């Protein structure tokens, strides 16, 4: 698998469970990192977990705010000489009521977390990728995108729409050597999921390191001919 030495990678959701694993693995591959999150203190803590020799900058922003995202990307372009990869790992999950009882606020919150953040970041970073002459966009969707589930309509819809956004990006950008792909993880093995589902067979869940392996491949030069893909990462469940 190709390394990422000298490539600048924007990683949203950098303070989450997956984000922290990805940050470490990307740093090990030699990537220059622009870590994005909402909480400056959590970003600083995440930065401390990385090797001191890593080239890392942290950026706190509300990714639902398109103007803030535009300013964020401009700041990154000033900090780094080029941007090569965007990994949209920011997102969120919540069970909800039935569709009949879902409020506008419930719907908008999940759609914003999982879809608008990726849309805002992708739209804003495309000029930088075009300027670099190459690029990768990687979106983190979910297995729930493939089938609607009761009590999860906003989540399933947002993750399904993220696949469609990925496909549109792939079609628009492939003439420019920029790929767009997404991963569809099943249940991730995180402390939160273990606490919430203690009676499930956790050995069948997806380790964060395993999901990171797939993402690292898709943003590497080894995947230069893969675009528009939605890759299942279901573990043994």
Model confidence pLDDT, tens digit, residues 158-214: 999 999 999 999 999 999 999 999 999 999 989 888 898 898 999 999 999 999 999
Print the domain residue range for 75: 8-233
The overall average pLDDT reported for the chain is 95
Identify whether 3 is part of a domain.
no
Predicted local distance difference test score (pLDDT) of residue 3: 82
Residues near 73 by beta carbon (within 8 Å), at least 6 away in sequence: 83, 121, 124, 125, 128
pLDDT score, position 96: 85
pLDDT at 28: 95
Residue 1's pLDDT band (cuts 50, 70, 90): very low
Cβ contact 90:116 at 8 Å: no
On whether the CB atoms of residues 61 and 15 are closer than 8 A, the answer is no
Q: Does 197 reside within a domain?
A: yes
pLDDT bin (cut points 50, 70, 90) of residue 2 is: low
pLDDT of residue 140: 98
- 47 within a domain of the structure (yes/no): yes
Closest listed residue to residue 91, CA positions, set 68, 121, 67 = 121
pLDDT tens by residue, 138-155: 999 999 999 999 999 999
E-strand ranges in 44-177 read 56-60, 85-88, 135-140
Is 90 exceeded by the pLDDT of residue 65?
yes
Overall number of domains in the chain: 1
CA 174 – CA 235 distance, rounded (Å): 30
Compute the distance between CA of residue 129 and CA of residue 137 in angstroms, rounded to an integer.
9
Residue pair 201/187 in contact (Cβ under 8 Å)? The answer is no
Does residue 208 form part of some domain? Answer: yes
Tell me the C-alpha distance between 147 and 211, whole Å.
21
- Domain contains 2: no
pLDDT band for position 31 (50/70/90)? very high
Mean of pLDDT values over 79-98: 94
The answer to whether residue 1 is domain-embedded is no
Q: How many CA atoms lie within 13 A of 80 on its CB side?
A: 26
List the CATH number of the domain containing 213: 3.40.50.720
The verdict on residue 218 lying in a domain is yes
Q: Is residue 40 part of a domain?
A: yes
């Amino acid at each position: 698998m190709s390394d990422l030495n000298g490539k600048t990678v924007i990683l949203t959701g950098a303070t989450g469970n997956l984000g922290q694993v990805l940050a470490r693995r990307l740093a090990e591959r030699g990537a220059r990192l622009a870590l994005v999150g909402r909480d400056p203190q959590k970003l600083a803590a995440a930065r401390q977990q990385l090797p001191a020799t890593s080239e890392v900058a942290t950026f706190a922003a509300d990714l639902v705010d398109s103007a803030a995202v535009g300013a964020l990307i401009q700041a990154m372009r000033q900090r780094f000489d080029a941007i090569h990869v965007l990994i949209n790992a920011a997102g969120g999950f919540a069970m909800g009521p039935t569709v009949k009882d879902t409020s506008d606020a419930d719907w908008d919150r999940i759609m914003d977390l999982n879809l608008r953040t990726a849309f805002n970041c992708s739209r804003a970073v495309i000029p930088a990728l075009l300027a670099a002459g190459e690029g990768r966009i990687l979106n983190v969707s979910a297995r729930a995108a493939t089938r609607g589930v009761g009590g999860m309509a906003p989540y399933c819809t947002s993750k399904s729409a993220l696949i469609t956004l990925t496909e549109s990006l792939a079609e628009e950008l492939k003439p420019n050597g920029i790929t767009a792909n997404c991963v569809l993880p099943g249940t991730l093995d995180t402390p939160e999921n273990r606490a919430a589902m203690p009676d499930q067979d956790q050995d069948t869940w997806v380790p964060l390191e395993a999901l990171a392996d797939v993402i690292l491949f898709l943003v590497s030069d080894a995947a230069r001919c893969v675009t528009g893909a939605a890759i299942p990462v279901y573990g043994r469940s």
